[in-house]
Structure 1
């Protein structure tokens, strides 16, 4: 099935490609004894900041903002620790994660939105739009709606499976996905056209669907898979 690629996603892939090329050049200079790359490797916590920025750019939900902000905060604290400005250890990360997760749960409860904990099976709200966050756990649900509009799915060290085979689309729907050390599986009806706009980073996007009879119903899946995977199938 043909996969379309919007200009915004192409620009992101170009940036990621340039980063990979830059890393390759730095390793080459280190192997040629021109520049010591070992010192640069000590700043690996910058990866948390980069991932957090990616999440903030892609999210439209409060959970996504909290997760992106938490990743950036962890990266900044670890960088300050490396520079000797503050003391920070992994023992501090778990309380920060618990505070962020608790804040997300409280916000959802107060706002009356769908509640998704670290391991949830049921949700409250309309099935037309999904807003799912799975952290250190799993989310599994069957969606039945005649006007599915898409939504946002986040899986961090966890998994999410949505069964959409009982749903229908009026024209086009968009799902934004973000996976980090986890996986997302979408089961779609055979009459949906699947369009992947994903960017895998040591991960993958996989489509296992049969060709639909027409292109009247389109599901666009866009986002990032970082050391994780997104699978779309019938």
Structure 2
């Protein structure tokens, strides 16, 4: 964003023509997608891949290797990617799950609230489309750390309630959305990772609270 702003400022102030460089702006978002993949240690795949795909198609159009009409016909690919994000999230978490150790919640044009009290919590798959899902984990215990939750919010919100002392890592990729750990800052804690939240948020949000 800083680099894009500098290029735009140089162009608008007339200090230096940068239009020839601005055509490569979509490549910056490709880099962001690749960075998100590496940053999450490839735990979060679908969200970054979608960003890379959109930015890559945008770059082909700006460089006139393809037209908008040629690119738009592939929009159903993102519906497929959205479905794959749900499937992969369930598969990765259920590999380790037993009995009630895994929770699945899907909300479309409505709301779903669930609570897990398992002594061997392993993970969850939470999806909200034009709605909201909430998962309460305050009474759970994790046998094999870290547990993993795949959260997808599309024009909706996913809220995960966890014990205050849990160490949570957010690997959610927000695309015109938000992802945050809203718990109050606390002193001390432990280094061991308790929970990893992956997935992506588009025009929605994923939050962790206590």
Normalising TM by the smaller chain, what interval? 0.5 to 0.7
Judge conservation of contact 1:192–1:215 (CA < 8 Å) in 2: no
Q: CA deviation at 1:130?
A: 0.3
Structure 1 length normalisation: TM-score?
0.57
- Which residue in 2 is equivalent to 1:206? 180
Q: CA deviation at 1:192?
A: 0.8
Judge conservation of contact 2:159–2:206 (CA < 8 Å) in 1: yes
Structure 1 residues 233 and 10 mapped into 2: Cα distance closer, same or farther (>3 Å)?
Answer: same
Distance 2:163 2:70 in 1: 48
- Which residue in 2 is equivalent to 1:20? 55
Tell me whether 1:136 sits opposite 2:109 in the alignment: yes
| Total equivalences in the alignment | 162
1:94-145 Cα shifts (integer Å, max 9, x gaps): xxxxxxxxxxxxxxxxxxxxxxxxxxxxxxx954210111122110123223
Judge conservation of contact 1:169–1:217 (CA < 8 Å) in 2: no
Judge conservation of contact 2:43–2:198 (CA < 8 Å) in 1: no
**Within 5 Å, which residues of 2 pair with 1:159-174?**
159-170=132-143, 171-174=145-148
Tell me whether 1:219 sits opposite 2:195 in the alignment: yes
Q: CA deviation at 1:166?
A: 1.9
Q: Indicate which of 183, 187, 201 corresponds to 2:161.
A: 187
Distance 2:49 2:114 in 1: 35
1:71-100 Cα shifts (integer Å, max 9, x gaps): xxxxxxxxxxxxxxxxxxxxxxxxxxxxxx
Local SS of the residue matching 1:13: helix
Q: CA deviation at 1:8?
A: 5.4
Tell me whether 1:6 sits opposite 2:41 in the alignment: yes
Distance 1:7 1:126 in 2: 27
Distance 1:11 1:178 in 2: 10
Local SS of the residue matching 1:214: coil
Structure 1 residues 47 and 180 mapped into 2: Cα distance closer, same or farther (>3 Å)?
Answer: farther
Structure 2 length normalisation: TM-score?
0.63
Structure 2 runs not aligned, ≥5 long? 1-38, 91-97
Distance 2:124 2:49 in 1: 26
- Which residue in 2 is equivalent to 1:59? 87
Structure 1 residues 155 and 5 mapped into 2: Cα distance closer, same or farther (>3 Å)?
Answer: same
Distance 2:178 2:157 in 1: 10
Local SS of the residue matching 1:223: strand
Local SS of the residue matching 2:206: strand
Runs of 4+ in 1 over 3 A off after TM superposition: 7-12, 34-43
Q: CA RMSD in A?
A: 3.2
- Which residue in 1 is equivalent to 2:170? 196
Q: CA deviation at 1:161?
A: 0.9
Distance 1:18 1:194 in 2: 29
Local SS of the residue matching 1:50: helix
Distance 1:220 1:50 in 2: 24
Local SS of the residue matching 2:81: helix
- Which residue in 1 is equivalent to 2:208? 232
